[in-house]
Structure 1
């Protein structure tokens, strides 16, 4: 399975609770942090929910 790198580029402060939980479920805690996850439809859906706060690296 392919891997995908996700970077948090915007703060969680002031966001709705659902978006905060999605970012934390992706394993992102600090701005600028990059995590590597398997490229599955579930992860892609989570990225789509918070696409204004994260970016896919590479």
Structure 2
């Protein structure tokens, strides 16, 4: 149950599955999905892991 609460909480600490760094909430700036939000690795561009917000 705790993992479900963590996934739903936008402020919960998240880790990159590839490099272990923190995931940060980012916003798409260009293209057809402008304004959408997603989780992106904080070490971008070295690590390009992205996860959907939901």
Same fold (TM over 0.5): no
Structure with greater proportional helix content = 1
Structure of higher RCO (CA pairs closer than 8 Å, 6+ residues apart) = 1
Provide the TM-score with structure 1 as the length reference: 0.30
* Bigger Cα Rg: 2
